[in-house]
Structure 1
Amino acid sequence: MSASVLTNLIKQGLNTKNVYPYAIDSGNVTLTDPVFLVTEILKDPTNYGGDRFNSMNEELQVQIYYSKETTIDVDSLEDNFLSLLQENEYRPFDISGHVYTPDNQTIVITYKFNHIKEVA
């Protein structure tokens, strides 16, 4: 469950409570704090040897939702977020710009990462 592993890493590294794997629990969301949604894109066996794979290429997506009235330093939060993931060998391969969603009045940015997980 790599989405759950990444969720725990973000919670511990950024000291934030609104981090969810797979789906946002809207009953627990505080609209003043950023909300992180972690989902899996792809799990692909790789690095074959002896008729078996030795690692798993994981692609994960993290969407960060902000209230349009947010008072936090978005750049600082996202810089710390990227540093945390890079230190833990998650490599970004696609980062969208910030987008305003008129339906729920939030600002969202989407990050996509590659991660190689060794398989025993």
Structure 2
Amino acid sequence: MSANILKNLISSNLNMKNVYAYSINSGNVSLTDPVFLVTEILKDPTNYGGDRFNSMNEELQVQIYYPKETTIDVDSLEDNFLNLLQENKYRPFDISGHVYTPDNQTIVITYKFNHVKEVA
């Protein structure tokens, strides 16, 4: 469950309390802090040898939701977030721009990452 592993990495290193894997627990969300949602896009066996795959190519998505009137330094938070993931071999392959969602009045950005997981 790679989404859970990435969720734990973000939570423990960025001191974020609103980090969720697969779905957001809306009853437990702070409306003043960013919310991270981690989901899996694709798991693809790769690096075959001896008729077995030796690694798994994982694609994961992280969406960050900010309150409309956030006081957080968004650039600093996202720079630290990207540095953390790159240090742990998560490579970004798609980053959307920030988008305002009028239905729930949040600002959201979506990051997509590749990660190669070695399989024993």
Q: Deviations over 1:86-115 (max 9, x none)?
A: 000000000000000000000000000000
Structure 2: 5+ residue stretches without partners: none
Could you tell me which residue of structure 1 aligns to residue 73 of structure 2? 73
Could you tell me which residue of structure 2 aligns to residue 104 of structure 1? 104
Measured in 2, the distance between the counterparts of 1:88 and 1:98 equals: 24
User: Shift in Å at residue 3 of structure 1?
Assistant: 0.1
Secondary structure, aligned partner of 2:92: strand
Measured in 2, the distance between the counterparts of 1:48 and 1:73 equals: 44
Could you tell me which residue of structure 1 aligns to residue 45 of structure 2? 45
Secondary structure, aligned partner of 2:60: strand
Aligned residues: 120
Identity of aligned residues (%): 88
Structure 1: 5+ residue stretches without partners: none
Measured in 2, the distance between the counterparts of 1:16 and 1:114 equals: 22
Normalising by structure 2, report the TM-score: 1.00
User: Shift in Å at residue 40 of structure 1?
Assistant: 0.1
**Superposition misfits of 4+ residues, deviation over 3 angstroms:** none
Normalising by structure 1, report the TM-score: 1.00
Measured in 2, the distance between the counterparts of 1:114 and 1:26 equals: 28
Could you tell me which residue of structure 2 aligns to residue 90 of structure 1? 90
**One-letter amino acid of the counterpart of residue 4, structure 2:** S
Secondary structure, aligned partner of 2:6: helix
**One-letter amino acid of the counterpart of residue 24, structure 1:** I
Could you tell me which residue of structure 2 aligns to residue 119 of structure 1? 119
Measured in 2, the distance between the counterparts of 1:31 and 1:66 equals: 9
